[in-house]
Amino acid sequence: MNEIIRLEHVTKTFSARRGPRHLSGALGLLGGQQKHKFTALKDISLNVERGESLGIIGRNGSGKSTLLSIIAGITVPSEGRVQVFGRVASLLELGAGFNPILTGRENIYLNAGLLGMRKAQVDAVYDEIVQFSGISEFMDQPVDTYSSGMYVRIGFSVAAFVNPDIFIADEVLAVGDAEFQRKCRAKMGELREQGKTIVFVSHDLGLVSTLCERIVLLDKGQMIQRETAQKAITYYLRRVGAEKGVHAFRSGKTEAIFCEGRISLFHNEEEVSAPTGFQMELKRLGMSQFSTDAEWTVHDAHPAGCRAVGKMLRVPVLIHWDMYFENDLFTWNIAIEPERDISIEEINVRFAVPTRYNQWIYGGHKDFFPEIVPGDTSWRPVAVAHADITDTACLSEEDASLPSILFHARYEQKNFYLYWLNADYMTNSRALCAQAVFPEQDSLFKQGQHKMISLSLDLAIPADELEKEVFKNQVLKTDSLEVQFQNGRLFILRDNQIITHLNHIYASLLLDGFLVDGFSFHWENMGVKHGALQCCGKSRRFPFSQLWEISVHNNTVSLTIWLQVEKELKVEELYTTIVLPQKYTYWKTDYETDVFPDYDQSLNDWIHCNSIFRRGTSVTAWGENMPEVKLSADQTCPPVYMTAINTTYYEHGRALQAFRTSKAAELFFSPGKHLHFSGQIEIGPPKSTYE
């Protein structure tokens, strides 16, 4: 037996008084009262092993704090037996154990002394305590001048550094700023790894699940245990939801539980969300406000969904969530409603999933999530974020019981974008974040309701079809050729091998001395119509858009690019460019054939290889064991120059380009639709000889 805490049939009752409390003579107070007993804990038997982390959850009034007080020796049980074998450091009621007239420094020595430390031992860790608390400049002030956050800082710092055998913490950790809360969570993780015993109470189910190996649920003073920590949390969510109007709803094999600003998602009775669930963060004046901090009311509850409204406590904003199922498709619509005009700096919507999801699909790429290690103290992006991606996915190759998840976003505010993260070591999850950062000129939200984003999750797609589903609106294929359009770039693959390079195939303009590349636009994939992929990208700076029409037949890609001009536009040059890898060694235009020269390391510009510049119809490149690539303009295309180009030394690419210049004819576009380029890209068999 290696028990450090043992409770046997512990019951705690308190005398409760009801009735008028007024003085009318010596016996007036007693005369108007009725005495009866309130049972806070009933027949609790619990053993905690040395080095174990135990979480205690339950509704307010369920007896959690009373149980901690009994373990800490602050409260004596009415019945039963309690045995604790080791030094206990407890962080229970705010300010408990502090003498208000003493300074912070004096209270550190007082509290540490009460925990059995000698002065010399306190001297040895005093600097660490002060540094961790972050309030060194206030150490010589009386603690009755401290804020609640400062009480928590000094109280936690003392408890964590007195080398306890048992560390007990109540919901008091919810007080204080976000930065110190992160430090506290990390320190508790260190104590756990040092083999200390932790008994922890919190309403933050994600934190409890992360810190604790075992979780017990208290309900009306009675202990309810489940086989695993996750089952205890799931039972709690369902129990609390049923009693508080928080809603559980389902469709087929999939169930969602909305509980006070957090959504937990289940499939085949197994949770596919991480303990922190799906929730929302709002930043204002540099401070984070979380959806779990709001006061929520459920409306229009039905078996397949509900609508919920949350009132933020520290900022005058209402949050509107509309959640529902259609078969295995879960949809979550989010809006905010400022109660007065207000500035908001940032909004984050996070979908936390377990680390058993080990692969992501995003932006045309599929890769594995990095392992989360103890040194990961912050959340880290795992893929470069793109502002125009609306579809992404995650899957697990290790756990067939977890369904693959396809995410789709529809942005009601243009500032949103999706990206994947690894959480820190303590949180230990993956997360898809939909983030909107509002610059100062866009940060003011008028009073009234504003739609933010609509998000959907599909759990019914098999893993082997997931990648195809993610890219279905941006991919065309033939037997040997595949093209993918991603945010203003066109990729070409032959026999599953990509043959384009760097920025691949893109269109750009030279305006007022600025090179405006299409891949910097805001893109929307309009989907496949009549066998052609149609996409629209709007310039973020200039009043025009690019419209692409792409089709594939055998080994030929047909490409038409239009300019949709909103205001009069004077253009210096227009370009349609294909970038190829260094292995392409030969080039050919209508007028000459040559070898791509070596790169000049001293130059940081693209260098034209042509010596003859005339209007032409095609330019071709090939190399040993590389398929021939030919860019051609068709008869409807405005006159263009065809050129072969060496990129910079560091880019190590070759480029084929069709360009139009105002030196030949003024490029002036009135409002309306104008043809930028029309032609084909032909992919032929490899050639290895110089022609």
Give this prediction's pTM: 0.64
Q: What is the CATH number of domain 3-230?
A: 3.40.50.300
Dihedral of the alpha carbons of 390, 400, 54, 201, in degrees to the nearest 10: 30
Q: How confident is the model at residue 84 (pLDDT cuts 50, 70, 90)?
A: very high
Q: Which of 91-105, 106-120, 361-375, 457-471 has the lowest mean pLDDT?
A: 91-105
Which one is the CATH code of 245-465: 2.40.30.160, 2.102.10.10, 2.70.98.40, 2.70.98.10? 2.70.98.10
The distance of Cα 56 from the centroid of its chain, to the nearest Å, equals: 27
With CA atoms as reference, report the closest residue to 474 among 487, 489, 485, 488.
485
Q: How confident is the model at residue 227 (pLDDT cuts 50, 70, 90)?
A: low
Q: Is pLDDT of 664 > 50?
A: yes
CB 363 within 8 A of CB 384: yes
Q: How confident is the model at residue 346 (pLDDT cuts 50, 70, 90)?
A: very high
What kind and span of H or E run contains 550?
strand 544-553
Structure tokens at 490: 């066109």
Q: How confident is the model at residue 154 (pLDDT cuts 50, 70, 90)?
A: confident
Cα–Cα dist 632/559, whole Å: 10
Q: Which long-range contacts (CB under 8 A, 24 or more apart) does 133-138 make?
A: 133/157, 134/180, 135/104, 138/104
At 34 the pLDDT is 52
Burial of 20 (0-12, 13-18, 19+ CB in 10 A): exposed
In 3-state terms, the chain is what percent helix, strand and coil (to 5)? 15, 45, 35
| Angle of the 119-133 helix axis to the 148-161 helix axis, nearest 10 | 130
Three-state SS letters, 422-469: ECCCCCCCEEEEEEEECCHHHCEECCCCEEEEEEEEECCCCHHHHHHH
CB 380 within 8 A of CB 421: yes
Count Cα neighbours of 336 within 13 Å in the Cβ-side half-sphere: 30
CB neighbour burial string for 533-557, b if at least 16 within 10 angstroms, e if fewer: bbbbbbbeebebbbbbbbbbeebbb
Q: Is pLDDT of 402 > 70?
A: yes
The distance of Cα 132 from the centroid of its chain, to the nearest Å, equals: 28
Non-local (6+) Cβ contacts of 68 within 8 A are 56, 90, 92, 168, 170, 199, 201
Structure tokens at 355: 């680390």
SS3 119: helix
Q: Is pLDDT of 244 > 60?
A: no
Mean pLDDT throughout 304-331?
A: 93
At 103 the pLDDT is 93
CB 471 within 8 A of CB 459: no
Cα–Cα dist 294/308, whole Å: 11
Looking only at the bridges linking them, the beta strands covering 254-258 and 34-49 are unpaired
Cα–Cα dist 338/358, whole Å: 38
Q: Which amino acid is at 300?
A: D
Q: How confident is the model at residue 27 (pLDDT cuts 50, 70, 90)?
A: very low
CB 66 within 8 A of CB 41: yes
Cα–Cα dist 421/350, whole Å: 10
Cα–Cα dist 148/182, whole Å: 17
Helix, strand counts (H, E) of the chain: 9, 52
Under CATH, to which class is 473-686 assigned? mainly beta
Q: Which parts of 126-226 are beta strand (E)?
A: 166-169, 197-201, 214-219, 222-225
pLDDT tens digits for range 262-317:
999 999 888 899 988 999 999 998 888 999 889 999 999 999 999 999 999 889 99
Mean pLDDT throughout 596-604?
A: 86
Q: Is pLDDT of 594 > 60?
A: yes
Q: Who wins on pLDDT, 676 or 464?
A: 676
How many CB atoms are closer than 10 A to CB 650? 9
Q: Who wins on pLDDT, 395 or 185?
A: 395
DSSP secondary structure of 288-340:
EEEGGGSEEEEEEEETTEEEEEEE-SSSSEEEEEEEEEETTEEEEEEEEEESS
Domain boundaries, the chain: 3-230, 245-465, 473-686
The residue written with tokens 């490149």 in the block is: 621
At 25 the pLDDT is 45
Cα–Cα dist 39/222, whole Å: 10
Burial of 97 (0-12, 13-18, 19+ CB in 10 A): middle
At 378 the pLDDT is 87
pLDDT tens digits for range 536-555:
999 988 999 999 999 999 99
Same topology between domain 245-465 and domain 473-686? yes
Q: Is pLDDT of 525 > 80?
A: no
DSSP secondary structure of 34-90:
EEEEEEEEEEEEEEEETT-EEEEE--TTSSHHHHHHHHHTSS--SEEEEEE-S-EEE
Q: Which of 235-239, 374-378, 484-488 has the lowest mean pLDDT?
A: 235-239
At 29 the pLDDT is 47
The residue written with tokens 């043992």 in the block is: 6
Q: Which amino acid is at 88?
A: V
SS3 285: coil
Q: Is pLDDT of 30 > 70?
A: no
